Amino acid sequence: MSQQQPVEVVTNKKRRWLVMAIVTVVAAGVISYFASPHPDGLERVAENHGFIDQAKTPSWTAWIPDYEVPGIKSPILKVGLAGVIGVAALFGVLYALTRPLARRREADNHGKGDHHPS
Protein backbone atom coordinates (compact mmCIF):
# COMPACT_ATOMS: atom_id res chain seq x y z
CA MET A 1 0.00 0.00 0.00
CA SER A 2 2.67 2.46 -0.99
CA GLN A 3 0.91 5.70 -1.83
CA GLN A 4 0.11 4.96 -5.48
CA GLN A 5 -1.43 8.31 -6.28
CA PRO A 6 -0.71 10.95 -3.69
CA VAL A 7 -2.96 13.97 -4.01
CA GLU A 8 -0.13 16.18 -2.85
CA VAL A 9 3.63 15.80 -3.15
CA VAL A 10 6.58 17.62 -1.65
CA THR A 11 7.51 20.65 -3.71
CA ASN A 12 10.61 20.93 -5.84
CA LYS A 13 10.70 24.73 -5.69
CA LYS A 14 14.24 25.57 -4.54
CA ARG A 15 13.16 28.90 -3.16
CA ARG A 16 10.76 27.36 -0.67
CA TRP A 17 13.43 24.98 0.63
CA LEU A 18 15.83 27.90 0.92
CA VAL A 19 13.26 29.75 3.02
CA MET A 20 12.90 26.65 5.21
CA ALA A 21 16.67 26.53 5.65
CA ILE A 22 16.78 30.20 6.68
CA VAL A 23 13.85 29.76 9.06
CA THR A 24 15.61 26.74 10.58
CA VAL A 25 18.89 28.56 11.23
CA VAL A 26 17.20 31.70 12.55
CA ALA A 27 14.91 29.64 14.81
CA ALA A 28 17.78 27.64 16.27
CA GLY A 29 20.29 30.47 16.34
CA VAL A 30 18.23 33.46 17.48
CA ILE A 31 14.61 32.73 18.40
CA SER A 32 15.65 29.82 20.64
CA TYR A 33 16.89 32.35 23.21
CA PHE A 34 13.35 33.65 23.63
CA ALA A 35 11.79 30.22 24.21
CA SER A 36 9.63 29.75 27.28
CA PRO A 37 11.67 28.52 30.27
CA HIS A 38 8.62 26.92 31.91
CA PRO A 39 8.47 23.13 32.36
CA ASP A 40 6.89 21.28 29.44
CA GLY A 41 3.81 19.07 29.58
CA LEU A 42 5.51 15.97 30.97
CA GLU A 43 7.59 17.98 33.47
CA ARG A 44 4.44 19.79 34.61
CA VAL A 45 2.69 16.47 35.23
CA ALA A 46 5.77 15.12 37.03
CA GLU A 47 5.98 18.23 39.22
CA ASN A 48 2.29 18.27 40.07
CA HIS A 49 2.32 14.61 40.99
CA GLY A 50 5.59 14.53 42.84
CA PHE A 51 7.86 12.38 40.71
CA ILE A 52 9.99 15.08 39.05
CA ASP A 53 12.77 14.25 41.54
CA GLN A 54 13.10 10.79 40.04
CA ALA A 55 14.62 12.37 36.94
CA LYS A 56 18.33 11.75 36.58
CA THR A 57 20.60 13.50 34.17
CA PRO A 58 23.54 11.44 33.01
CA SER A 59 26.18 13.89 31.92
CA TRP A 60 29.02 11.82 30.59
CA THR A 61 28.10 12.15 26.93
CA ALA A 62 26.40 15.51 26.91
CA TRP A 63 28.81 18.05 25.53
CA ILE A 64 26.18 20.75 25.42
CA PRO A 65 23.84 20.13 28.37
CA ASP A 66 20.50 21.94 28.31
CA TYR A 67 21.20 23.58 24.97
CA GLU A 68 23.83 25.91 26.38
CA VAL A 69 27.39 25.72 25.09
CA PRO A 70 29.64 25.69 28.15
CA GLY A 71 32.27 28.38 28.49
CA ILE A 72 30.41 31.14 26.70
CA LYS A 73 29.32 34.15 28.72
CA SER A 74 26.67 35.77 26.56
CA PRO A 75 23.37 33.99 27.22
CA ILE A 76 22.03 34.55 23.72
CA LEU A 77 25.24 33.30 22.12
CA LYS A 78 25.50 30.12 24.14
CA VAL A 79 21.95 29.09 23.35
CA GLY A 80 22.14 30.23 19.73
CA LEU A 81 25.41 28.43 19.11
CA ALA A 82 23.99 25.26 20.65
CA GLY A 83 21.04 25.55 18.28
CA VAL A 84 23.20 26.04 15.22
CA ILE A 85 25.44 23.11 16.20
CA GLY A 86 22.36 20.91 16.61
CA VAL A 87 20.93 21.98 13.27
CA ALA A 88 24.23 21.26 11.53
CA ALA A 89 24.55 17.90 13.30
CA LEU A 90 21.08 16.81 12.23
CA PHE A 91 21.51 17.92 8.65
CA GLY A 92 24.83 16.12 8.45
CA VAL A 93 23.73 12.91 10.15
CA LEU A 94 20.53 12.57 8.14
CA TYR A 95 22.26 13.41 4.88
CA ALA A 96 25.01 10.86 5.50
CA LEU A 97 22.50 8.25 6.63
CA THR A 98 19.90 8.55 3.86
CA ARG A 99 22.15 9.30 0.90
CA PRO A 100 23.47 5.72 0.60
CA LEU A 101 19.89 4.46 0.88
CA ALA A 102 18.61 6.52 -2.04
CA ARG A 103 18.32 5.24 -5.56
CA ARG A 104 20.52 6.96 -8.08
CA ARG A 105 17.90 8.09 -10.58
CA GLU A 106 16.71 11.67 -10.53
CA ALA A 107 13.10 11.11 -11.54
CA ASP A 108 11.14 8.36 -13.14
CA ASN A 109 9.97 9.63 -16.48
CA HIS A 110 12.30 12.32 -17.61
CA GLY A 111 14.51 9.88 -19.38
CA LYS A 112 17.58 12.07 -19.79
CA GLY A 113 20.03 9.41 -18.76
CA ASP A 114 18.50 6.35 -20.29
CA HIS A 115 19.42 5.43 -23.80
CA HIS A 116 16.78 3.39 -25.49
CA PRO A 117 17.83 2.83 -29.12
CA SER A 118 14.40 3.38 -30.58
Partner 1 sequence: MHIPDGFLDVKSCITTGVLGVGTVAYSLRRTKVSLARPEVPKIALIGAFIFAAQMLNFPIAGATSGHFLGGAMASILFGPAVAVVIMSAVLIIQALIFQDGGLTVLGANIVCTGVIGSYVGYGVYRAGIVLLRGRATKVVSFAAAWCSIVAASCGVALLLAWSGTFPLGVALKTMAGWHSLIGIGEGLITAMVVAYLMERNVAFENLPSSSKKGASAT
4-43: which residues touch partner 1 (CB under 8 A)? 5-12, 16-17, 19-21, 23-25, 27-28, 31-32, 35-42
In the complex, what is the shortest distance from the CB of residue 76 to partner 1, in angstroms, rounded to a whole number?
Answer: 13
User: Which residue, among 54, 52, 78, 51, has the nearest Cα to 66 in the 3D structure?
Assistant: 78
Contact 80, 29 (CB under 8 A): yes
Q: Report how far residue 82's alpha carbon sits from residue 63's, in angstroms, rounded to the nearest whole number.
A: 10
**Judged by CB under 8 A, which of 73, 107, 112, 115 binds partner 1?**
107
Q: At what angle do helices 75-98 and 14-29 cross, to 10 degrees?
A: 140
DSSP assignment letter at 47: H
In the complex, what is the shortest distance from the CB of residue 61 to partner 1, in angstroms, rounded to a whole number?
Answer: 5
# of chain residues touching partner 1 (CB under 8 A): 74
Contact 84, 93 (CB under 8 A): no
**Judged by CB under 8 A, which of 101, 113, 115, 116 binds partner 1?**
101
In the complex, what is the shortest distance from the CB of residue 7 to partner 1, in angstroms, rounded to a whole number?
Answer: 4
Q: Is 118 in the site for partner 1 (CB under 8 A)?
A: no
DSSP assignment letter at 54: G
58-97: which residues touch partner 1 (CB under 8 A)? 58-59, 61-67, 82-83, 85-95, 97
